Amino acid sequence: MTKLYDICDAALMCTFKAFGDFKVLGKENVPKDVPIILVSNHLSIIDPPLCASAVGKEPRFLAKKELFKFPINVLLKYYGAFSIKRGFTDIRAFQWSKKQLKGNKSLLVFPEGTRSNDGKLKQGYNGAMILALATGSILLPISITGTEACKNFLQFLYPKKMKVRVTIGNPFILHNVPKDRNKSFIKSATSEMMMRIANILPEKYKFNKEIYKEKKFIYTKKI
């Protein structure tokens, strides 16, 4: 992306190797030479750069508009972030996301829409699945744990007590897509996506499965 991105990424990894405990599991599952939609649970403000470093694809991502203030906006820009207005459908952000994927760039999405306040995976929004449907992109489930200990940027600079694990699951695609591509299909496919994230999370981070109807994978399949 840019030299500054490489510098920031190297500094982040050096910091965690020196003061923290950071490991990536399943890196062999990352598809090569194709744009992908990375879908992950969300615990902390430092999740985007850690997920990006773990996957190694320099993915673009969306961040709430309120974060784009100096000096954080500079880092967000060089990490490939785009501002999104939360609370309603942001067509501008959707078109930008689609353009990135069509331009052979990967995209990082946190389907929960915000950080989890108790660490447990929440119900996901439909945006990632709508993007996958519009672009034909491969999806890659990711789980991140341990970053909930980071409450502010000072801890980010000195992650002494943080034991962070990023687990990369099996890539998957949409499957058995109905001709009318109805809302019920999108909702079910989104639930399947969240189940795929849950399957690579430790038990204490998993959601209450009763909020999900899907027990089988009908509209998504591993590749």
User: Can you give the residue range of the structural domain that contains 22?
Assistant: 3-222
Question: Is there a contact between 90 and 130 (Cβ–Cβ < 8 Å)?
Answer: no
Helix (H, G, I), strand (E, B) or coil at 80: coil
pTM of the full predicted structure?
A: 0.88
Summarised one tens digit per residue, pLDDT across range 177-213 is: 998 888 899 999 999 999 999 999 998 998 766 555 5
Per-position pLDDT tens, the chain of length 223: 566 667 667 777 777 666 678 899 999 999 998 999 999 999 998 898 889 889 987 888 887 776 666 666 666 776 677 877 766 678 898 999 999 999 999 999 999 988 998 999 998 999 999 999 999 999 999 999 998 887 766 666 666 667 899 999 999 999 999 988 888 999 999 999 999 999 999 989 987 665 555 568 999 999 9
Task: Dump pLDDT digits (tens) for 157-179.
Answer: 666 667 899 999 999 999 999 98
Q: How many domains does the chain have?
A: 1
75: domain CATH number is 3.40.1130.10
Distances (CA, A) of 60 to 37, 63, 66, 76, 183: 10, 10, 18, 10, 27
Query: Structure tokens of 96?
Result: 């930008």
Q: How many CB atoms lie within 10 A of CB 89?
A: 9
